[in-house]
Chain A
Amino acid sequence: MSDAPGATPAPQSAPATYTRPVIAVVGNPNTGKSTLFSRLTGVRQKVGNYPGVTVEKKIGRIRLAERDADLVDLPGSYSLAAHSPDEMIAVDVLLGRVPGMKRPDAVLVVVDASNLRRNLFLASQVLELGVPVVLALNMVDVADQRGIVLDPRQLGERLGCAVVPIVATARDGKSKVQFASRPAALPDHQASEVPAATSTQLSGFDDLRTALGDAVAAANRAPAAVFPELTAAARELAQTFSSATHQLDPLETERALLDVGSYSEERLLARADTPDQRAALVAALEATRNQLAGDKPIAAVEAARRYQWIFKALDGVEVRGEPRPGWSDRIDSVLTHPVLGLLSFVGIMFVVFQAVFTWSGPLMDLIDGAFGDLGQSVGAALGEGAFSSLVEKGIIAGVGSVLIFLPQILILFLFIAILEDSGYMARAAFLTDRMMRLAGLSGQSFVPLLSSFACAIPGIMAARTIPDRKDRLTTILVAPLMSCSARLPVYTILISSFVPNQKYLGGWLSLQGLVMAAMYFVGIFTAMAAAVLIKRFMLRGPAPAFLMEMPPYRRPMLRAVAQRLWERGGVFVRRAGTIIFAVVLVVWVLSYFPRPEHIAQQYEVEREALAQQTDLDDAARADALADIDHREARDYLEQSAFGRIGHFIEPLFRPLGWDWRISAAAMASFPAREVVVAVLGTTFAVGDDIDVDDDDSAGTMRAALQNATWPDGRKLFNLPVALSLMVFFALCLQCGATVAAIKREANSWGWAIFAWCYMTGLAWVAACVVYQASYALLM
């Protein structure tokens, strides 16, 4: 959980089992890098995390002419500068320092052809490595529309690498890509004079595969002489300070020289064997900076040299016509307009939220019903007993409780993919940044937090689009405070049972509605406050830069969107599924065992007595049998490990106005919040299948809750208890799937446990305050 630079990754060489060539893929954000990656690898990819950081590790297989190779997708960035462990991953992958991964045999640099000058900044850093490079000149169609004429062949000669023009998003990849891969357009040519290629042999992807095949077979190239003095100085420093115990790499030394006072410098210094050596290295770095840059910041000199080199490389290779105001600018004059822009933003977000909230309903009911039926028929087929209960209530219900979130996740990701690929996400961040800054976050946190109103899991997964690690973690940690749809059943049953149905303003306002709205505001307010505190005390540091390109609007590509949905859905089902599954099993075991024999005997006697009664009709008999079943279930629950824990922890929840049954139900709802409704139902013996949408069973449940008493006969539930229970569920993290999602996205159990602890603590304190205050006021 600490930000301190840890021990350096040790393995310098790859395991012997690693046989395929490795190609790293780098590029700026919004260059279509992910789309290209997906199209080159298809579904043959593995998604995971790099150890110790929150960066996603995506590796896919690509078929080259001679053999297969592994494509490693690196996070989109504008530079190799490494101010945090997350940013250092790109450098580590390029140097082959990540355990289990070998140094790449080639690098594929994806650039936006319509924005070459800035894109070549990162490319120039990669070209200095000396590794064979292939430059994918993506979006040549956009460049063409903007009147930019390019000469890819000439560019390749100047950069000393293969340059392949492509259109990664082209629906029919071949024809459009060929149009872009026409013979080099010379500066004095008019674009219209160059005939579009018709041959199907010259498709962009085929050319790219050929170029990549050549690159992995090629020996290292001469590093580009962008800033030769810097490269030479870094090499010399690395040589001087390498010893028998550690090898300094010229690239990491160069990064330490440039990234003054940052993570990469810290990590280089941490390699020194002795304090004296460290001091010498500090002095040498400082002297080298002075020698290279004089009194200017070294980064300014480096940037100036890089851009000089870029302008020289592009002179005569990239000819920019008169900039024409495109439709993208016209859309922006509406969508970022002070009034119209905000209105459209609210409209778009409303549609997204509605879709996630309501469209998913029927699908979720379908999954819920299917798993319920499956559980019942399997349970019936297996008969009574522990194994049957394990399969029905443990395994099938457990899997169902995970899969039920899948529709919301897929619908939300459908919208996020469309908003991102169309370029709108950058505008949403632009519009909301000022507001989100009140919580210490940036505009990039808005959409993940909004999504969390439907379900925190897709919200947490959406947080991966936030580039800054601290902002991303903070967003992940506060997202579950937004009142998700799983809280609704809890709010609904308690509000309808204990909040008076008073209407104000001629029926326009109801007290019940106000309490419901208050629950949502409690969540929002707490999330904002928690974000401020987490940023101030745990994830301290300078405010992250909010520097981002406003990409031109584009039409999202169906295939790319579909592939992302498939990927996200798969990740959720596999990773969260395994963890929540284990948790559900544990809860089942705790609430099933032990099962004292005397309870079974006692109710067997009752059942026999019922069978003896002859004056009952079938309906009354069934009711009486159900009543016996429920009382038996309740007694078993009280005797189970869970019931005993409930009694044991009752004193802890007394200040909240809860008895052991409510306490145990709250605990048993760890797999999923809405479980509390079912457990309360079982505990208060009204049937274990409570459907709050069904007036009848909700009515019975209401009556049961209203009639429940303490042992001394006082009513158990009243408005203060209901409020404290609602506030507790508004703020607690009783959702195994969310805990699993936090673990996955933050890549640490530490953060997941922290999230659970701080939210549960907050929930307890808030529920206690609400109970005590409302008791004093109302009772």
Chain B
Amino acid sequence: MSATVTTLAALRAGQSATVRAVTGDSAIVQRILAMGLLEGSDVRVIRFAPAGDPMEVEVLGYPLSLRKSEAANVEVDHIR
């Protein structure tokens, strides 16, 4: 594993990963966590909106849309 941190925002459509941590401002962190994106969750990128942002991911078996700026708060590893 490289030393740089990969975030959910950097994944391509079709890629899956495991959430390692959620960082940032408390309000946004709480919202991300409540949606099920928390340490240990598996997440898969379904698609991006036509303008490349926001993105749609699958977590806990349901589709969730979020902006890249929010996805950048979600650190991931085990990208596959």
Contacts and interface: CB of A to CB of B under 8 A. Distances in A.
Interface string A423-437: 000100111011100
A161 B72 CA distance: 38
Contacts of B12: none
Given A304-B38, A341-B50, A430-B54, A549 B63 contact: yes
A542 B25 contact: yes
Interface string A335-352: 010110110000000000
A543 interface: yes
Nearest to A146: B61
Given A117-B60, A300-B39, A430-B56, A547 B70 contact: yes
Given A118-B62, A121-B34, A336 B56 contact: yes
Contact of A262 (B27, B62, B69): B27
Interface string B15-53: 000000110011111111111101110000001011111
A329 B51 CA distance: 20
B50 A545 contact: no
A182 interface: no
B54 A434 contact: yes
A300 B29 contact: yes
A550 B50 contact: no
Nearest to B48: A338
Contacts of B70: 545-547
B6 interface: no
A78 B29 contact: no
A307 interface: yes
Contacts of B40: 304
A307 B37 CA distance: 10
B50 A431 contact: yes
A546 B65 contact: yes
A300 B26 contact: no
Contacts of B31: 78-79, 81, 545, 547
A669 to B, nearest CB: 40
A81 B65 contact: no
B11 interface: no
B7 to A, nearest CB: 15
Residue of A336, A339, A341, A545 most packed against chain B (CB within 10 A): A545
Contacts of B49: 336, 430-431, 433-434
Given A78-B31, A297-B29, A434 B52 contact: yes
Nearest to B64: A549
Interface string A667-710: 00000000000000000000000000000000000000000000
Given A341-B50, A547-B64, A117 B30 contact: no
A121 B35 CA distance: 9
Contacts of B61: 115, 117, 320, 323
Residue of B26, B39, B70 most packed against chain A (CB within 10 A): B26
A126 B37 CA distance: 21
A557 interface: no
B35 A307 contact: no
Interface string A157-182: 00000000000000000000000000
B64 A548 contact: yes
A433 B53 contact: yes
A78 B61 CA distance: 16
A136 interface: no
Nearest to B22: A300
Given A300-B22, A304-B39, A336-B49, A433 B34 contact: no
Given A336-B49, A431-B49, A434-B51, A547 B29 contact: no
A674 to B, nearest CB: 38
Contacts of B10: none
B30 A259 contact: yes
Contacts of A304: 38-40
Given A323-B61, A433-B67, A548-B65, A79 B51 contact: no
B79 interface: no
Contacts of A341: 50
A118 B33 CA distance: 10
A430 B57 CA distance: 12
Nearest to A426: B65
B67 A546 contact: yes
A429 B51 CA distance: 12
A431 B22 CA distance: 26
29 contacts: A81-B30, A83-B30, A261-B26, A262-B27, A299-B30, A299-B33, A300-B21, A300-B22, A323-B61, A332-B63, A336-B56, A338-B50, A339-B50, A342-B50, A426-B65, A429-B65, A430-B49, A430-B54, A430-B56, A433-B67, A545-B27, A545-B28, A545-B31, A546-B54, A547-B31, A548-B64, A549-B62, A549-B65, A550-B65
Interface of B: 21-22, 25-36, 38-40, 47, 49-54, 56, 60-67, 69-70
The 10 closest A-B pairs by CB, nearest first: A434-B51, A303-B33, A260-B26, A79-B34, A550-B63, A338-B50, A545-B31, A83-B27, A299-B30, A78-B34
Given A79-B34, A121-B36, A542-B28, 12 more contacts: A115-B60, A118-B36, A121-B34, A299-B33, A300-B39, A320-B61, A342-B50, A426-B65, A543-B69, A547-B32, A548-B65, A550-B62
Interface of A: 78-79, 81, 83, 115, 117-118, 121-122, 258-262, 297, 299-300, 302-304, 307, 320, 323, 332, 336, 338-339, 341-342, 426, 429-431, 433-435, 443, 542-543, 545-550
